């Protein structure tokens, strides 16, 4: 089982890392540097990729190694996956060795063996250092500088991998937190194999939505909490690079979704986890999430509302001028949000959260622990549903603030349902979650309509031509009122549809059941 923390650094900072005093203090023995060349194999249909496997031959210091890795899991820069490695006499795959692994059935197929061919390669210089920690934990620090190549395409490698050899992975996070005080580093979410496949596809990256969770009904509540948190963190980091590039606003949306899911998880388990340890990190994430929320509000305002208004009034110069002014304001908020995600403080949050989760969540005594995980989940889902029912009383009398509270309650129930979905029969989970999504969608449009009115004062405060802006503002206010009127009817229909759904966590006799 390979456990390593991946850190991304600029080439000059990679050299500084090698000379860092903390690294020198931990180093055991001499460092070694040598060239490493790896060739990754797969079929034209990418059979190994679809199976969650990476197969490579590596030339390392004059010897050949054959390595098979599983996809594993990655969150907060920590990669955990199964790995099998064998020395070889030369540059040729040994299918007998592969057939002896738990994945052997795949490699025993003659049709797959015949199709395996090189897909991409990596070439880099690797400096290895052995590190020893005070508690007896051991690690190997690898500093890699080079390239990934597929055909004529290339992508640079400049990263540090701290692989745990023995002891606690928490030491890896503690070391990274120390290094962050002196070096600009980022957590690396993608492995070299994942980057190589992306390069070989020659397709642009796309925003990443939340992956479906697989919870073990025999697992503990603490394990479920950690699994959910890691999933949320992985979604944040999978969208970080795309968001910083600023080419697709959907990256920002997915980062915010992941942050909300993470905070919803913390809220869901808040009575059964040590809040004192996690609360400071969660408070900071809430604050930084709010700044990202401003950028998202402006993105929706400019690219959806104002664009639709312009398309209806294409000949109105005042609308076009107003849209340009708002686009400039939107870019200001976007750059501010990107500055947050690019900052050392952002990386520190994930390292600290990763450290807390890696150390293990010590749960206090709680009556809910006497229940199986599905029963524990059912009790939380019941609480969330009761809150949503309460918020939805006198639905058509709710003002904007009341609808906002209703939206939050619906979102929390939906996230909880998605977190625990695999513990219950899917035929019952799916329609329930879809009905919640319908409520969220309508409430989201109502929230967008209310947000328009909150953003207009900022536009007016920066305006140099108040007369045209005042007229366009009037159009937007009318747009907001009309949209709100239409969506209120839709909200009633979505609410009624949800009310007809049966809670999937209850059996016909009223008890939670396991699917």
Per-residue pLDDT for 199 more than 70? Answer: yes
Q: What is the DSSP string of 422-473?
A: GGS-HHHHHHHHHHHHHHHHHHHHHHHHHHHHHHHHHHHHT-S-HHHHHHHH
pLDDT over 70 for what percent of the chain?
A: 93
What does the pLDDT look like over 252-265, one tens digit per residue? 999 999 999 999 99
d(CA 185, CA 171): 17
Mean pLDDT for 76-81 is: 81
User: What pLDDT is stored for residue 315 in this prediction?
Assistant: 59
Which of the pair, 483 or 6, is modelled with greater confidence? 6
Contacts (Cβ under 8 Å, ≥6 apart) of 393: none
Mean pLDDT for 84-112 is: 93
- Determine the topology of domain 2-203 in CATH: Hypothetical Protein Pfu-838710-001 (2.40.320)
Q: Are 272 and 221 in contact (CB under 8 A)?
A: yes
User: What pLDDT is stored for residue 510 in this prediction?
Assistant: 42
How far lies 422's CA from each of 15, 37, 59, 232, 432, in Å? 46, 41, 42, 16, 14
pTM score: 0.88
What does the pLDDT look like over 362-401, one tens digit per residue? 555 554 555 678 889 999 999 999 999 999 999 989 998 9
Per-residue pLDDT for 62 more than 90? Answer: no
What does the pLDDT look like over 111-130, one tens digit per residue? 999 999 999 999 999 999 99
What does the pLDDT look like over 456-514, one tens digit per residue? 888 877 766 555 567 777 888 887 888 888 889 999 999 999 999 999 998 644 444 33
Dihedral Cα 298, 303, 309, 310, nearest 10 deg? 120
Residue 167 pLDDT level (bands cut at 50, 70, 90):
very high
User: What pLDDT is stored for residue 22 in this prediction?
Assistant: 95
What does the pLDDT look like over 449-462, one tens digit per residue? 888 888 888 887 77
Comparing 79-83, 219-223, 239-243, 306-310, which segment has the lowest mean pLDDT?
Answer: 306-310
Dihedral Cα 350, 356, 359, 364, nearest 10 deg? -150
Mean pLDDT for 215-241 is: 90
- Determine the topology of domain 371-515 in CATH: CHAD domain (1.40.20)
Q: Are 13 and 183 in contact (CB under 8 A)?
A: yes
User: What pLDDT is stored for residue 513 in this prediction?
Assistant: 38
Domain parsing of the chain, residue ranges: 2-203, 371-515
User: What pLDDT is stored for residue 515 in this prediction?
Assistant: 33
What does the pLDDT look like over 318-337, one tens digit per residue? 777 888 888 888 999 999 99
Mean pLDDT for 37-52 is: 95
User: What pLDDT is stored for residue 336 in this prediction?
Assistant: 93
d(CA 174, CA 232): 21
Per-residue pLDDT for 57 more than 70? Answer: yes
């Amino acid at each position: 089982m390979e456990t390593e923390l991946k850190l991304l650094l600029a080439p000059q900072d990679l050299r500084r890392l090698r000379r860092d005093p903390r690294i020198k203090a931990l180093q055991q023995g001499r460092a070694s540097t040598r060239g490493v060349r790896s060739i990754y194999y797969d079929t034209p249909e990418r059979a190994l990729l679809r199976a969650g496997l990476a197969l490579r031959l590596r030339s390392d210091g004059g010897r050949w190694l054959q390595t098979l890795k599983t996809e594993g899991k990655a969150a907060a820069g920590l990669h955990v996956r199964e790995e099998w490695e064998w020395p070889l006499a030369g540059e040729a795959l040994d299918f007998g060795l592969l057939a002896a692994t738990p994945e052997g059935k795949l490699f025993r197929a003659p049709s797959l063996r015949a199709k395996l061919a090189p897909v991409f390669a990596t070439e880099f210089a690797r400096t290895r250092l052995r590190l020893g920690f005070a508690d007896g934990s051991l690690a190997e620090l690898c500093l890699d500088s080079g390239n990934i190549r597929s055909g004529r395409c290339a992508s640079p490698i400049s990263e540090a991998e701290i692989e745990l050899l023995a002891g606690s992975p928490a030491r890896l996070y503690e070391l990274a937190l120390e290094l962050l005080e002196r070096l600009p580093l980022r957590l690396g979410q993608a492995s070299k194999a994942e980057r190589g496949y992306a390069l070989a596809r020659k397709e642009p990256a796309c925003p990443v939505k939340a992956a479906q969770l697989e919870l073990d009904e025999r697992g503990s509540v603490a394990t479920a909490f950690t699994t959910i948190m890691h999933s949320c963190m992985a979604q944040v980091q999978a969208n970080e690079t795309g968001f910083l590039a600023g080419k697709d606003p959907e990256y920002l949306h997915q980062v915010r979704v992941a942050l909300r899911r993470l905070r919803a998880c913390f809220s869901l388990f808040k009575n059964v986890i040590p809040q004192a340890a996690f609360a400071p990190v969660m408070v900071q994430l809430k604050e930084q999430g709010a700044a990202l929320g401003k950028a998202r509000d402006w993105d929706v305002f400019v690219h959806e509302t104002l664009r639709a208004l312009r398309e209806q009034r294409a000949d109105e110069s005042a609308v076009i001028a107003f849209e340009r002014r708002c686009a400039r304001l939107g870019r200001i908020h976007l750059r501010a949000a990107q500055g947050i995600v690019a900052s050392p403080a952002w990386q520190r949050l994930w390292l600290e959260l990763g450290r807390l989760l890696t150390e293990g969540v010590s749960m206090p005594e709680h009556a809910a622990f006497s229940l199986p995980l599905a029963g524990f989940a059912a009790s939380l889902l019941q609480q969330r549903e009761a809150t949503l029912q309460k918020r939805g009383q006198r639905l058509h009398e709710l003002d904007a603030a009341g609808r906002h509270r209703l939206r939050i309650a619906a979102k929390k129930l939906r996230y909880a349902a998605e977190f625990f979905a695999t513990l219950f029969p899917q035929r019952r989970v799916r329609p329930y979650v879809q009905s919640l999504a319908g409520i969220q969608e309508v409430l989201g449009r109502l929230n967008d309509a209310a947000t328009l009115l909150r953003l207009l004062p900022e536009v007016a405060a920066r305006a140099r031509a108040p007369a045209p802006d005042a007229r366009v503002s009037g159009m937007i206010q009318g747009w907001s009122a009309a949209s709100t009127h239409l969506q209120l009817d839709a909200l009633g229909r979505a609410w009624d549809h949800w009310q007809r759904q049966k809670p999937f966590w209850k059996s016909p006799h009223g008890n939670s059941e396991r699917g």
